[in-house]
Amino acid sequence: MHDGKGGRHYKQNGDREVCEHMEDEAVMTFFETLLKTFSIRKSIKSALWAGCATKHEFRAGTKDGNSVDEEMAKANNYRHRQGAGEWISE
């Protein structure tokens, strides 16, 4: 069973776990999107991608083996999917 504690790279940016920041971002994004689109499906998807992007933004430069550029590229791809509904094409 997972104890809810991530690696040290998940708590490098303060006292809160990254998942707490992800939850906050997801909830805020859900309601902002819902007010704009009136679509629960779009709001859920937007919240999911926003939470994923937040994870990579917070752990950029803190996870062994992952460069800042690599983490930010992942975050940008999630933010792109959040806005455009698709992954960045290479």
Instruction: Identify which has the larger pLDDT, 71 or 15.
Output: 71
Instruction: Identify which has the larger pLDDT, 10 or 76.
Output: 76
Based on the structure, what is the number of domains in the chain?
1
Residue 25 lies in a domain: yes
**Neighbour-count burial of 61, counting CB atoms closer than 10 A to its CB (0-12 exposed, 13-18 middle, 19+ buried):** middle
Residue 31 lies in a domain: yes
What pTM does this model have?
0.82
Residue 19 lies in a domain: yes
- The reported pLDDT for the residue numbered 1 is 46
For the stretch 3-58, pLDDT in tens is 555 665 556 556 778 889 999 999 999 999 999 999 999 999 999 999 999 999 99
Residue 69 lies in a domain: yes
Residue 3 lies in a domain: no
Residue 57 lies in a domain: yes
